[in-house]
């Protein structure tokens, strides 16, 4: 690999690391998710400094070209990223469902308490008044 290409690629990886650190500082990327991206950056640096790694990998698996081995590595990495992101989305979906169910239970509990207060105070005329305060609270948010 030509020296100019290596210098350009190293500069690109440095910018890559700077962007990840920027996202971490702005709290737009969680540390546990950024570790994977940092590991990819380290691998990129290793491949740039030691391109023989890719050649050795391609020879070990009997690829005709180092580029074919690189493409296989990239596709494998993308599959791993997709599986990891699918797992994260599934966990978030389960968490949101649980929070929604808890909010509905709390809302029902508040309405029951309002009904009991109304019955004890005898100042409520209809069932429509039960929960009006709660509905207006959620509308204002």
Q: Along the 141 residues of the chain, how does pLDDT read in single tens digits?
A: 788 999 999 999 999 999 999 999 999 988 888 888 898 899 999 999 998 998 998 999 899 998 898 899 889 988 988 998 899 899 999 999 999 999 999 999 999 998 888 887 765 655 445 455 555 555 555
**Alpha-carbon torsion 59, 62, 67, 70, what sign?**
negative
Confidence at residue 135, expressed as pLDDT on a 0 to 100 scale:
56
- Alpha-carbon distance of 127 to 115, in angstroms, equals 8
Which string of DSSP letters, residue by residue, matches 84-111?
HHHHHHHHHHHHHHHHHHHHHHHHHHHH
**Alpha-carbon torsion 105, 108, 110, 113, what sign?**
negative
Confidence at residue 85, expressed as pLDDT on a 0 to 100 scale:
87
CB atoms within 10 A of CB 130: 19
CB 118 within 8 A of CB 129: yes
Task: Quote the tokens at residue 119.
Answer: 């019955």
User: Which are the contacts of 123, defined by CB distance < 8 A and separation ≥ 6?
Assistant: none
Distance of CA 17 to the CA centre of its chain: 18
Confidence at residue 26, expressed as pLDDT on a 0 to 100 scale:
94
CB atoms within 10 A of CB 58: 19
């Amino acid at each position: 690999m030509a020296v100019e290409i290596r210098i350009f690629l190293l500069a690109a990886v440095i910018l890559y690391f700077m962007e990840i650190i920027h996202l971490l500082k702005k709290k737009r990327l969680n540390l546990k998710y950024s570790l994977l991206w940092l590991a990819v950056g380290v691998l990129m640096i290793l491949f740039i400094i030691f391109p023989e790694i890719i050649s050795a990998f391609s020879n070990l698996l009997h690829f005709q070209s180092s580029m074919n081995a690189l493409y296989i590595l990239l596709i494998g990495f993308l599959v791993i990223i997709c599986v990891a992101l699918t797992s994260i989305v599934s966990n978030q979906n389960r968490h949101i469902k649980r929070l929604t169910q808890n909010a509905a239970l709390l809302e029902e509990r508040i309405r029951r308490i309002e009904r009991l207060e109304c019955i004890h105070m005898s100042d409520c005329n209809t069932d429509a008044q039960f929960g009006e305060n709660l509905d207006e609270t959620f509308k204002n948010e």
